[in-house]
Structure 1
Amino acid sequence: MENQQIFSNSDRGLAYGDGFFTTALVCNGRIELWPLHVKRLVQCQQRLGFPELNLEALERLVYERIKGETKAVLKILITRGCGGRGYQAPQSPTPSFSIQVLPFPENYSKWQQHGIETVLSRVQLGIQPLLAGLKTLNRLEQVLIKQDAQTLECDDVIVTDINGSVIESSAANIIVIKNNRVYTPNLANSGIKGVFLTSLESQVDITVADIDLEFLQLADGIFICNSLIELVPIIRFEQQCFDIEYLLTLKKQILGMSS
């Protein structure tokens, strides 16, 4: 595995988390859902006031790095570079970037086949509509969530915001099945909208809703999803258990809608 990285120790990404990233699945030298990853990078660039990205050069570099990879994780990280005075960004920034190709986590295949056990995270997400949906470098909430999860008996955690609304797992979006309808939490005030969810929404009728814990307790099935794990069944949330065979059937139905 190789990576390309161009950073200074005075980079604003290191000092302030002034940047954004995307993480993609590489299969046989191809980047899954690449157009949506590009769209995510452009959305972050525009909303954070970065200079326009040279997408042709970026794509050329990326495909050079993944050449020969059968299954791996691609991570593209972009910062505003150096300069400015304190928090004030430079008027004409020169962004820095990192392209990494990393091993695909072995446990993800097991998760897809056998499901995962989850509990409620004791760490809640703050409210910030200006950054909601964006995959910025400000990920300390997720670091705390992962640290908390390591002390619990689970594979992953379900995360709420400070108002108690269900938002996501530690690193994935949530899909809820109830009465033959597909739901996903409202991410207008916090959380990250993943590329896999965006792709699924374009092909499956998914209702965005304000979801609380009671809604989860009445669900017929719960899944988490992102571009690496795709769609993973939750076989347990707290004391609530779901039959894995039924969930795998639901999963086939959902993915069948998107084929």
Structure 2
Amino acid sequence: MGRDRLDTVSIANRGLNYGDGVFETMRVHRGALPLWPQHLARLREGAGRLGIAVPDVDFIEARIADMVSAVDAGVLKLLLTRGEGGRGYAPPADAVPTWMLSLQPLPEVLAGLRVHPCETRLSMQAALAGIKHCNRLEQVLGRAEAVRAGCDEGLMQDLAGNPVCATSANLLVLRDGRWRTPAVETCGVAGVLRAWLLAQDLVEVAAVPPEGLADADALALCNAVRGILPMRALGAREWSPHQATDELQARLAMAYPMFQHAGSKP
């Protein structure tokens, strides 16, 4: 398998066997990826932490353009694994990275999310925190809980019981007129849309204790595919639509018109 090829997955692929890889899930808008620079930066960060070489970026961008140039709206996933290796956890020194692209339609739109408080907790591992590595079993279990509860998403906590994020989105908490988001230094994913909100000083990083959600003025989720999604309910607690959420969505849509509509179902 060469670094400049689009490959299918071998049974010996370490991404399949051990989750040894990273991925990015990106919004396609009018034949382009508006947030590609941010996704590429996170891809490089994650691959660097795992010691996986990123294939030639010019080649990847050319293949992306081939795939999305005629697509008005969709979701593009880029998966990068360490490649093939023998049995055992030790990374082969000569492994050649494998990367793949897949294109899916956009999720359907929802006006507000019903979120299930998950029993499954996020393990705390600073070496993996923030990056989108391929071991997502905690999120798989959390989303399965949400589906069984008849909800749209699942809210996940760390081992100490502090709210961190949803299974596939970052958490935004409005209190006293200011949006806050939990830190992701020990667990959770550093979302590219979360990073944009922080850079624009629209959100700040702050600890959110377990009791800090029920009395919040509003809750929302955000990710780079669906934008900002107002949370209608968390368990039995419900919230009415809030003007601050509308304003935050409007600020995002001014910068990225692809998010001008209300949120989408996960």
What's the TM-score once normalised by structure 1's chain length? 0.91
CA distance in structure 1 between the aligned counterparts of 2:214 and 2:189, rounded to whole angstroms: 23
CA distance in structure 2 between the aligned counterparts of 1:5 and 1:99, rounded to whole angstroms: 9
Q: How many residues get paired? A: 248
Q: Which runs of 5+ in 1 are unaligned?
A: none
Letter in 2 for 1:171: S
The answer on whether the counterparts of 1:197 and 1:225 sit within 8 Å (CA) in structure 2 is yes
**Take 1:220 and 1:102, find their aligned partners in 2: how far apart are those partners?**
35
The one-letter code of the counterpart of 1:250 is A
User: 1:165 aligned to 2:167?
Assistant: no
**TM-superposed deviation, 1:129:** 0.9
Task: Answer yes or no: is the 8 Å Cα contact 2:116–2:145 preserved in 1.
Answer: no
Q: d(CA) in 2 for partners of 1:56 and 1:223?
A: 36
Question: How far off its partner does 1:85 sit?
Answer: 5.6
* Aligned-residue offset at 1:5: 4.0
In structure 2, relative to structure 1, the CA distance for the partners of 1:252 and 1:16 (3 Å cut) is same
Alpha-carbon distance in 1 for matches of 2:83, 2:200: 37
Counterpart of 1:32, as a letter, is: P
Question: Structure 2 regions of 5+ residues with no counterpart?
Answer: 1-5, 255-266
Q: How do 1:40-119 residues align onto structure 2 when only pairs under 5 Å count?
A: 40-83=42-85, 86-106=88-108, 109=109, 111=110, 114-119=111-116
Mean Cα displacement is larger for which, 175-184 or 205-214? 205-214
118-127 or 71-80: bigger deviation: 118-127
Deviations 1:14-45 (A, max 9, x none): 11111000000001101131100111111011
Q: Is the 8 A contact 2:115 2:146 kept in 1?
A: no
1:183 and 1:6, CA in 2 relative to 1: closer, same or farther beyond 3 A?
same
* Corresponding residue to 1:185 among 182, 186, 196: 182
Q: Is the 8 A contact 1:78 1:98 kept in 2?
A: yes
The answer on whether the counterparts of 1:29 and 1:68 sit within 8 Å (CA) in structure 2 is yes
The separation in 2 between residues aligned to 1:138 and 1:34, in whole angstroms, is 23
Task: Provide the rounded CA distance (Å) in 2 between the counterparts of 1:20 and 1:216.
Answer: 31
1:177 alignment partner, SS class: strand
Equivalent residue for 2:23, pick from 10, 21, 24: 21
Deviations 1:96-123 (Å, cap 9, x if unpaired)? 01100111112xx2x2xx2111221111
Residue 217 of structure 1 aligns to a residue whose secondary structure is coil
| Two-structure CA RMSD over aligned residues (Å) | 1.5
Are the aligned partners of 2:122 and 2:159 in contact in 1 as well (CA < 8 Å)? yes
**Percentage of pairs with the same residue:** 31
* SS of residue matched to 2:44: helix
Counterpart for residue 216 of structure 2: 219
Contact map agreement 1:51 1:93 (CA 8 A) in 2: no
Checking the alignment, whether the CA contact within 8 Å between 1:45 and 1:53 is kept in structure 2 is no
